[in-house]
Amino acid sequence: MIRNRTRTRLALAALATLAASFGPAALAQAKQTCTPSHSTTLASDSYARVYGRHGNAYVCIRASGKTSLLQGASPAGDHFALGGTYVGWSSSPAPDPSNPSALPHSIVTVMHIPDHRVNDRWYPAELNETVDKIVVLSDGAAAWAMTPPPGSDGAFTEIQGTDRAGHPADQFSDDHADVVGSSLHILAGKTIAWRYADGTTGTQTLF
């Protein structure tokens, strides 16, 4: 009988030690998830998930559950893309009461997810047009399709992006041909491709 009591005390001590190893910090970490309730997937790959929840957009690293707000982005109408450890997104600036005639337009940002690093020389990039789609490569190079808002001087949807490291975005598509914005995609490696409204195609190698 004494032996049984000794075994019971030892078992309880072992359980207490195990519980201590899963303290509040460890338990809190275990609760982190990239699929919180009431969230909607906006972009996803093996490294991260971008999701919308309660009117905001977030990027979450799958391995750790570390989650970051994508500043200014709305799940309702903005665009998102993942590439390696980078995330790119469009956002819409708040209306400017001092300039009520300002046309709608987009802002593009590309961020290194683990450390929130943004090349603040080039991003956020405020465009004169609205983004239809964005793609991001694993080294942070990015491209986007953008359409001029009604009432502007522009006539065609265009492709713009980063073809030179450390350089602002350049236009890739033909000035006199309309792009199907949704056709923008990564063709292979560092090459992107798109389709014009007339059925022809275009390509560009990013940096």
Backbone CA torsion sign across 121, 124, 125, 126: negative
Helix or strand run (H / E) with residue 81 = strand 80-83
pLDDT tens by residue, 64-108 = 999 999 999 999 999 999 999 999 999 998 766 777 667 789 999
Average pLDDT over residues 150-177: 92
What's residue 154's pLDDT? Answer: 83
Please give the structure tokens belonging to residue 166.
């450390």
Q: Is the pTM of this model over 0.75?
A: yes
Domain assignments of the chain as residue spans, ordered by start = 1-31, 33-205
Report which of residues 22 and 84 the model is more confident about: 84
